[in-house]
Amino acid sequence: MTVLTRFAPSPSGRLHLGNARIAILAWLFAKSHGGDMLLRFDDTDRTRSDPSFEAAIREDLRWLGLDWRAEYRQSERSPLYLVHFEELLARGRIYPCYETEEELAALRARALARGEPPRYRRLEGEGGTPAGAAASREPYFRFRLEPQPAVFRDLVFGERTIAVESLSDPVVRRADGSFTYIFASVVDDVDLGITHVVRGEDHLTNTAVQIQIFAALDAKPPAFAHLPLLCDVSGRPLSKRLNDLSLVALRDQGFLAPALFAYLARLGTGIAPAPDDRPESLVRSFDIAAFGRAPARLDIDDLRRFNGRMLRTLSFHEVAAQLAALGLSRVDEEFWQLVRPNVDTLAEVGMWWQIVHGPITPVVTDRELLERAAALLPERLSSPAEARAFLDQLAAATGRRGRALFRPLRLALTGREHGPELALLLPRLGRDRALARLRGETA
């Protein structure tokens, strides 16, 4: 059997870390078994889908280093869905409904008042529409669920049993003639030969429903792997702050694609990502069973630190293109070597470029020390050796050592408490700018 997975985003927004993780894991699963992944845009909901997001999603996936064997849009496959829809309609597994949203809300309210789950089943729907209304309305259609539970082996959670008794018969075709994801996805998986579906645990209810649709189509369902959802360090769902965690936002902050890939590939396994992790090595070690069953906690600060660890292993040649994309084309190899030990993202390189080339307003915390430093600053300050000689002379003249010496100097020269070694930084600042800042001037 050739393994074939799929990543099926809805083109209603940019990729965020949650669905990027699913794409990475679906890709890794396929590649680790010698297979491939398909990209399918689930764009049947015309009110939410935006074609412009398709290009953005492709860009994000390629930036991560993912590829796919073929690409599909559900909106272009309606004739295929119609064939299977009419088959199940003729067999009585799909049936028409005529309720308006208001009438459905009334049905739900009555069920809740009786202490029952607000589900829709065919018998409940009968009589819910005023007499004669059906004749003047376009129907929508639902799939009739059988009362037996869905039982399957999850590649992450093991044997699972999901009750469907409390679920509504799912809508499979809207009144405007478009098909819903729940139905179109099954038809696609059968037609395209999908062998494994890797997705979030929030799809468990969909899986229970879709297993019955597969059976109604006389098709074998794929194997399912449901990943626990991501949450933040406090246990709150990431969906509350997806805009901050979109791939484009992180890319603009100077995160590295290999760092995001490795971090997301390891998240939830208990195995820490390593700076030398790359897609090809992660393929060789990938095991879907290594993922835990508890929600995976994403710590953005931990991700930032790991990004910094990977950055510090990279040469200027390896980051030059992304620096240029961030508007930092003036950064040269010497400057990269200067700031690399002190940055966690490439955007911080831009911060240090501004600090070095100014203007900035110095932070003055010890005027007496700064006045002595300004008086002792040599006429030549073009090499680290000259800068070290100056710092040694200042230490001898003031009796200051360590933090007592370097903290006031660093705050005055850079406005920051931490950063590159001052002996390396001073020649890049230049004597005139260093002198002005030691005097408390904006420069």
Taking only the tens place, the pLDDT of each residue in 56-73 is: 999 999 999 999 999 999
Same domain for 233 and 221, yes or no, is no
User: Is 425 domain-assigned?
Assistant: yes
The predicted pLDDT at position 126 comes to: 47
Same domain for 301 and 373, yes or no, is no
Q: End of a domain among 198, 227, 256?
A: 227
Query: Residue 240 pLDDT more than 70?
Result: no
Cα separation, 177 vs 93, whole angstroms? 18
Confidence of residue 120 (pLDDT cuts 50, 70, 90): confident
The residue-averaged pLDDT of 341-357 equals 97
Cα separation, 79 vs 95, whole angstroms? 19
Same domain for 86 and 46, yes or no, is no
Cα separation, 102 vs 113, whole angstroms? 16
Confidence of residue 101 (pLDDT cuts 50, 70, 90): confident
The predicted pLDDT at position 197 comes to: 99
Give the residue numbers spanning the domain of 81.
77-227
The predicted pLDDT at position 306 comes to: 99
User: Is 427 domain-assigned?
Assistant: yes
Interior angle at CA 27, CA 22 and CA 28, nearest 5: 100
The predicted pLDDT at position 417 comes to: 95
CATH classification at residue 199: 3.40.50.620
Same domain for 175 and 205, yes or no, is yes
Lowest mean pLDDT among 2-11, 48-57, 79-88, 309-318: 48-57
- What's the domain count of the chain? 3
| Average pLDDT for the chain | 94
User: Is 104 domain-assigned?
Assistant: yes
Nearest CA to 177 out of 141, 213, 214, 217 is that of 141
Query: Residue 125 pLDDT more than 60?
Result: no
Confidence of residue 242 (pLDDT cuts 50, 70, 90): low
Q: Measure CA 437 to chain center.
A: 42
Q: End of a domain among 227, 256, 287?
A: 227
State the DSSP string of 318-381. HHHHHHHHTT-TT--HHHHHHHGGG-SSHHHHHHHHHHHHS------S-HHHHHHHHHH--S--
Dihedral (C-alpha) 411, 413, 415, 419: value to the nearest 10 degrees?
-80
Same domain for 286 and 208, yes or no, is no
Query: Residue 127 pLDDT more than 50?
Result: no
Cα separation, 35 vs 2, whole angstroms? 6
Same domain for 165 and 219, yes or no, is yes
The residue-averaged pLDDT of 163-189 equals 95
Better-scored residue on pLDDT, 293 or 115? 293
Strands 171-173 and 140-143: antiparallel
User: Is 160 domain-assigned?
Assistant: yes
CB neighbours (10 Å) of residue 243? 10
Determine contact, residues 164/212, Cβ cutoff 8 Å: yes
User: Is 268 domain-assigned?
Assistant: yes
The residue-averaged pLDDT of 394-408 equals 96
The predicted pLDDT at position 3 comes to: 98
State the DSSP string of 104-136. HHHHHHHHHHTT------HHHHTT-SPTTTGGG
CB neighbours (10 Å) of residue 111? 15
Confidence of residue 138 (pLDDT cuts 50, 70, 90): very high
User: Is 103 domain-assigned?
Assistant: yes
CATH classification at residue 425: 1.10.10.350
Question: Quick one: what percent of the chain has pLDDT higher than 90?
Answer: 85
Cα separation, 171 vs 220, whole angstroms? 22
- Assigned token pair, 16: 């965020």
Report the predicted TM-score, pTM, of the whole model to 2 decimal places: 0.91
Whole-angstrom distance between the N-terminal and C-terminal Cα of the chain?
A: 67
Confidence of residue 358 (pLDDT cuts 50, 70, 90): confident
The residue-averaged pLDDT of 337-359 equals 97
Same domain for 205 and 181, yes or no, is yes
CB neighbours (10 Å) of residue 408? 21
The predicted pLDDT at position 239 comes to: 63
User: Is 98 domain-assigned?
Assistant: yes
Query: Residue 385 pLDDT more than 60?
Result: yes
The residue-averaged pLDDT of 292-316 equals 97
Same domain for 418 and 281, yes or no, is no
Q: Over the stretch 202-225, which tens digit does the pLDDT of each residue have? A: 999 999 999 999 999 999 999 999
The predicted pLDDT at position 134 comes to: 61
State the DSSP string of 231-286. E-TTS-BGGGGGGGGBHHHHHHTT--HHHHHHHHHHTTTTPPP-TT--HHHHHHH-
Q: End of a domain among 203, 227, 251?
A: 227
The residue-averaged pLDDT of 294-300 equals 94
Same domain for 70 and 88, yes or no, is no
Same domain for 238 and 133, yes or no, is no
Same domain for 113 and 44, yes or no, is no
Same domain for 54 and 119, yes or no, is no
User: Is 331 domain-assigned?
Assistant: no
The predicted pLDDT at position 114 comes to: 86
